[in-house]
Structure 1
Amino acid sequence: MNTITLSNARVVTADEVFTGTVRIEAGRIADVARGGTVTPAEDCGGDYLLPGLVELHTDNLEKHLGPRPGVEWPVHSALAIHDAQIAAAGITTVFDALCIGDLDPTGFRARTLRPSIAALREAVAAGSTRAEHWLHLRCEVASTDVLDLLTEYLDEPLLKLLSVMDHTPGQRQWSDLEKYRVYAQKHDHWDETRLADEVTKRSALQQAHSARNRHAVVNLARERGLALASHDDTTVEHVAEAQADGVTISEFPTTLAAARAARAAGQGIVMGAPNAVRGGSHSGNVAALDLARAELLDVFSSDYVPASLLHAAFLLVDDAGWSLPRAIATVSRNPAQMAGLTDRGEIAVGLKADLVRVRPTAHTPLVRAVWRDGERVG
């Protein structure tokens, strides 16, 4: 690989921001120096130079697999579009969050799971992705097939993260059944009869399967040394259960009480970047920026909008009074450390040359260029 020098950049390190130069050699950061423009070099024109963003939980692939209701897009094409959008957002490491088990066993997620993992495996092996992709398997513990499906993929080399989740109406994210009714009628077009039937059926599935399946998933994560997250904890009791299970990551706690309990339990707290950008949760749950102001936020996840990740980090500066290095850590160093990736996440000598050139505007930060391992990918 050739040596690359990026100069006249506002370099954002783990601790400070300064005008300087970053030199890349053999895909690694070889030098970080203060000072103005040097030659020969690529002049960044005073733009920010950030570490490549690290995304622990994105459903973005699903959006491209099903671009419209009733439409299923070819999986390799969907993956390529997803990957390009991820890189364009400044994300250089991404955990694709795919659902293991579905409360509707004939549903979209059930049909696309195996093709998605196969396509991802093929693309990574061929070196055809712009971002570095890993797997985050989201285990729907109320489903009947979650353990069979998870067992099928436990030896997948791309697997680094498991999460336990339960989307049964009437609890956690859907504690308010009225909000669940609005969501189901809008997205699934259920009438009142179908809605009542589904609530009854899914509640029965939870009673029959959730406790046993959760226990099994937790044990499998321990046996394989996989990082484990808990999804949508709502009560102090939910967090206590997660703590007993050895959970280290609290994904999207839905209440202030749950976030406080997660902090007390030493869990890393992940919130949705779209929540911050929109000014609140689309489900009526606690606002991400409120948790940031209460010192209860460690990581942002773009969830369903890749571009929200960088935007949300800058909002921490504007709306929560955080320093820029601290804010950028929520989308770089902190998620990398949670996933056990110690070779990336900040601009420091010896680390991977995953970098993003960003120009702030009055409305949103604009990604101008992206490098992964010193290679331009966006």
Structure 2
Amino acid sequence: MVALTLGVFLTLGVIKIVSVSKGIYLSNAAIARMQENGRYALGIVTRNIRMAGFTGCSREQPITNLLNNSSTVWWENFATSATAASGVSIRGYDGTQDFPSTDCLPDVQFTTVTGGKRIGATDALIALGGDGGYPVKVNGSTSLILSSITKPSGATLKPYDLLIACDTSNVSLFQATSVSTTAPNYTVGHTRLTTTCSGQTCPPGQTCPGNSDATLSVSSSAPAAQIGLRDYIPTAFYIGNSATCGTGACALPHSLYQLQFILGAMVAQEVTEGVQDMQIFYGEDDPIVNDPLGTGLPDGVVDIYRDATSVVNWNNVLAVRISLLMATLEDNIVPQPQSYQWPADTGDAAKFGRTSTATDRRYYQVFATTVGIRNRLTGG
């Protein structure tokens, strides 16, 4: 009996040790996965912010926008110069602001901040710019001949992709209307497209921004070696319900989403889970706030960080301060609801510390960084 009793106690002790060890392991694994998601999400967003406005040429060169260039279509309305009359390369939207609709496609993400896929009271951001590059062999008036159509990702250039071409004095934004895949000379056409999204010109159900003119502002007499050609990548980031929540309402988990123009269509992609909130402040070069020389002109230095609703001139934004609130996908990770410092959706950007308390027992962590917009800080 004594041996049996001791055996029972030892067995219970082993079970208790195994149970506690398993709980610690699962908690550590959940936190590690959350931290990995946070680093990845922050890396994706900051890279696009850094590349905002990049064309491969000087930001002061005039841009000929051959897309329809509607001021209400965020990914068409592109400019890089601080003196541009319209168009931006970066813009933010506070949680109280609707994101503008996309052209020709039902805008399920941003029709309202209280419905659809976007989570209310979370910020959204767009970053427009170029990336990658293609070697130009021949510069023609209605087409360009390339020696390669391979993207840095390994994918290939396709018809309806958006491109930026520039020479030593001009920049053109256009849509490829045709791409031949016959090596070694790949022809990329930029002839005129219809402005509608139906018919034979555009693939069914896809967006067709069109080319308002077949002629690029890039001189057809410029040597091919002086022509830069790269992808134009308009991207938007927002917080939405995770796909794992199904079609119904779901408080947790949330995910970071991005919108990108892929093969003629604006596509929503879930980047990573566990991103519960995103709050963004914008470092603006505002001569009214700080103008020691009395010139009334920007001096290339961030003077003040502002909420999206308070930015005076988006083309004078030089840096972005972004915060992501991450949470574990699993509940019951901590013994009691956690408190953390998180900025309010609107207000003074200098007052970051506002205490919030979770309504569950997930583990929360804030990932924050400030990133400079390279094209504006360097002037190139």
**TM-score, normalised to structure 2's length?**
0.24
Structure showing greater radius of gyration is 2
* Bigger share in helix: 1
Structure with greater contact order relative to length (CA < 8 Å, sep ≥ 6):
1
TM-score scaled to structure 1, two decimals? 0.24
Identify the structure with the greater strand proportion: 2
